[in-house]
Amino acid sequence: MTAPLDVSGDELKATPESVAEGAGAKAIQGRSLGQIAWMRLKRDKVALTGAGVIIFLILVAVFAPLIVSWFGHPPNQFNQDQIDTMTMIPKGGSGISWDYLFGVEPVNGRDLFSRVVYGARISLLIAFLATLLSVFIGTVMGVIAGYFGGWVDMIISRLMDIFLAFPVLVFAMALVGVLGQFETQLEVKGDSLRILLLIFVIGFFNWGYIARIIRGQTLSLREREFVDAARSLGARGPYILFREILPNLIAPVLIYATLLIPTNVLFEAALSFLGVGIQPPTATWGGMLAAATKYYTVPHFMFFPGMAIFITVLAFNLFGDGLRDALDPKSGR
Amino acid sequence: MSESILSVQGLEKHFPVTKGLFKSQVGAVKAVDGISFDVRKGETLGLVGESGCGKTTTGRLITRLIEPTGGKITFEGHDITHMKQGKLRPLRRDMQMIFQDPYSSLNPRHTVGAIVGAPFRIQGIQTEQGIKKAVQDILELVGLNPEHYNRYPHEFSGGQRQRIGIARTLALKPKLIIADEPVSALDVSIQAQVVNLLEDLQNELDLTYVVIAHDLSVVRHISDRVAVMYLGKIVEVGERAGLYSAPMHPYTNALLSAVPIPDPKQREGRERIRLTGDVPSPLNPPPACRFHTRCWKAQEICKTQEPPLAELAPGHAVACHFPENAPSKTETPATVA
Ligand SMILES: Nc1ncnc2c1ncn2[C@@H]1O[C@H](COP(=O)(O)OP(=O)(O)OP(=O)(O)O)[C@@H](O)[C@H]1O
Ligand code: SF4
Ligand SMILES: [Mg+2]
């Protein structure tokens, strides 16, 4: 690597890796850290697999009606003809066939494939929006605490502690239970209200983690000399916050958002499992698992929603880890 | 030449040390503890001292990145000691700082063009042919390829990064530049290039420098005058020739003896002084002469009475009870006995 890159050409010995890589191309256009991270990510097969699965899941969720119309039956349709009327379990044990790819539920014979596919909608929708909410609150709170310090930091940090120590599950159960009463009283029906409520509960009580991380990052960024450089040029607070500090927070926000999504998928599943999530007959993975516990003689009932949760969580975690390695190689293995 | 551009009097910065939930103050780090010096237009003042003696703090005080706890700073006739940041803004164009660490002083998310162009944007300055052209001119001036405008800092070596930092300080055509250890983070082979660049720029652009360094060899070449700091105080200040050939303070002597001498003839007859012990903590500095814990000439008086910074030769001041190489007005008290 001795191609003269620089007209002054005097410090080639110390040329960093990335310049050396681009030497042949003689491209003057610089490569941002984001582009370099993308190149690293492209080489990470595991993370790419995770990303592929995530994209697949999103497509499934978005096109659920279409997929179900091609390969399944309406998710809430009873298919009594698939059920052995003596035992109430699916004919042949699971009912898996070309017509019913994942088999059918015991008793009422609903198509498991369609229900798993529709379950992806609820699961991903709630997980994504709840993550968005926590990331938004967490980033704003973290930046404010880290940047302003002093008593502002003190108050926000204590607030974080409170939220981190909060028994969210118990609270969620109580809140959703209370709302359940109102639902019947006000005759408000439908899932949208429940979905909004779940997004709020999961999102609002999870911002503490992100806030804590972002606060730490902001604190250390604030002490960096480039911030001093901007201040010595006469830059004001907003400039420093938005131009100097925020661009450096994009990577950690992305990483922790990706790693928070699977947690929220699990959280939603847990709430539905406990019966305080989305109510039947709407298909959710957690709800199906809960129903399946009563029929341990037909393991496929539990297997498919369980696998759906497992694969989703795994895919996001693998992708998130890969993203972290790519964006922040120092913290990696 | 003799008109002063910057004047510092009794400058102090005590960082409070707090403890506990209620942040009660339990002490203070006396990072800078009453220093005074003048910088004349067009000269280069070297500010030298060991790590932790308060050099960076001094630079940050002068550029008002931190608030002084005492003393007075006058820049071009303006008392800027406690001036409001808003009022200070226009003055900042005339005073810039080069930072110690070329890796942390450039925002990794900004291109070189954005970094060097930031001064124009922050100060809202219009340039004749656009900011890009102005930035490219400056890049060329500091020996960088102007076509690297769109590159990111991580694509450059340490020396090139420091040049980018220098380019940023030059954007607004300042009068005074505080260079905080501009080369200590760099390879020895590159240090000379950057120092030479600073020198060339000074001649070309009529700059005044305060160059901070932790050993005397770096600033020897570039300085007109040198001030030596120890634990937040200036212990000796003088013209370069006098200070290097006839250092008066034992600490300066010790620092000088650590500097390798290229000429073997001169090297003879000079013994190497080795400083023993660590630098005491600025949290609890030794009383009176702060150097007495490590000084081989220390006497009782050094522990009880602080030696004032006194001008013993024209333009050459020292704070020591028993200075060396002092022009013999009276023989130094140490040898009287
Ligand atoms: N913000 C701060 N809060 C508390 N103490 C500080 C702060 N900044 C600096 N200090 C202390 O002040 C003293 C002087 O620090 P300073 O950075 O000025 O030293 P320096 O001479 O520049 O050293 P170096 O050669 O390592 O850069 C040190 O003891 C340091 O720990
Ligand atoms: S005053 Fe005393 S202790 Fe201090 S430098 Fe001079 S001789 Fe040494
Ligand atoms: Mg320093």
Distance B214 CA to ligand 3 centre (A): 9
Q: What is the pLDDT of residues A31-85, one digit of tens each?
A: 777 788 888 888 888 989 999 999 999 998 898 888 878 877 777 777 777 677 7
pLDDT at position A11: 39
Length of chain B: 337
Distance B321 CA to ligand 2 centre (A): 6
A169 Cβ neighbours under 8 A, 6+ residues apart: A270, A271
- Distance, CA of B193 to CA of A307 (rounded, Å): 63
Q: pLDDT tier at A28 (50, 70, 90 boundaries)?
A: low
Q: What is the pLDDT of residues B131-176, one digit of tens each?
A: 889 999 999 999 999 999 889 998 898 899 999 999 999 998 999 9
**Tokens 């408000």 found at:** A188
Residue A4, pLDDT > 50, answer no
Q: Which of the four CATH numbers 3.30.70.20, 1.10.8.50, 3.90.1150.10, 1.10.3720.10 does domain A55-331 have?
A: 1.10.3720.10
Q: How many CB atoms neighbour CB A104 within 10 A?
A: 32
Average pLDDT, stretch A275-280?
A: 78
Which H or E run includes B45? strand B44-48
Of B154, B180, B212, which to mutate for an interface test with A (greatest number of A Cβ within 10 Å)? B154
Out of B233, B235, B273, B320, give the residue to mutate to test ligand 2, the one with the largest number of ligand atoms within 8 Å of its CB.
Answer: B320
pLDDT at position B316: 92
Q: What is the pLDDT of residues B30-53, one digit of tens each?
A: 999 999 999 999 999 999 998 889
Q: pLDDT tier at B261 (50, 70, 90 boundaries)?
A: low
**Tokens 């913290």 found at:** A331
- ipTM of this predicted structure: 0.87
Q: Which of A312, A203, A320 is nearest to A255 (CA)?
A: A320
* Closest ligand to Cα B180: 3
pLDDT greater at residue A169 or residue B164: B164
What domains sit in chain B, N to C, each tagged with a CATH number? 1-40+56-94+227-261+270-337 (3.40.50.300)
β-pair partners for B47:
B212, B227
Q: How many CB atoms neighbour CB B337 within 10 A?
A: 5
Long-range contacts of A90-97 (CB under 8 A, 24+ apart): A90/A298, A93/A298, A93/A300, A94/A298, A94/A300, A96/A300
User: Could B158 and A231 be called an inter-chain contact, meaning their C-beta atoms sit closer than 8 Å?
Assistant: no
Out of B57, B228, B284, give the residue to mutate to test ligand 1, the one with the largest number of ligand atoms within 8 Å of its CB.
Answer: B57
Of the listed ranges A96-100, A128-132, B55-59, B277-281, the one predicted with least confidence: A96-100
**Tokens 């975690």 found at:** A317
Nearest chain B alpha carbon to A18: B155
Q: How many CB atoms neighbour CB B38 within 10 A?
A: 17
Residue A239, pLDDT > 80, answer yes
Q: What is the mean pLDDT of chain A?
A: 80
Q: What is the pLDDT of residues B113-128, one digit of tens each?
A: 999 999 999 998 887 7
3-state secondary structure of B231: coil
Are A199 and A129 in contact by the 8 Å Cβ rule? The answer is: yes
CA angle B142, B103, B231 (to 5 degrees): 100
Q: What is the pLDDT of residues B235-258, one digit of tens each?
A: 999 999 999 999 999 999 988 887
pLDDT greater at residue A89 or residue A237: A237
Give residue A298's identity as a one-letter amino acid code. V
Q: pLDDT tier at B328 (50, 70, 90 boundaries)?
A: low
pLDDT at position A286: 84
pTM of the full structure: 0.81
Q: Which residues of chain B lie closer than 8 angstroms to A28, CB-CB?
A: 145, 147-151
Q: How far, rounded to the nearest angstrom, does the alpha carbon of residue A113 sit from its chain's CA centroid?
A: 23
Q: How far, rounded to the nearest angstrom, does the alpha carbon of residue A83 sit from its chain's CA centroid?
A: 37
- Distance, CA of B69 to CA of B82 (rounded, Å): 10
Q: pLDDT tier at B271 (50, 70, 90 boundaries)?
A: low
Q: What is the mean pLDDT of chain B?
A: 87
- Distance, CA of B71 to CA of B10 (rounded, Å): 4
CA angle B63, B67, B68 (to 5 degrees): 95
pLDDT at position A10: 40
Q: What is the pLDDT of residues B177-212, one digit of tens each?
A: 999 999 888 888 888 889 999 999 999 999 999 999
pLDDT greater at residue B277 or residue A237: A237
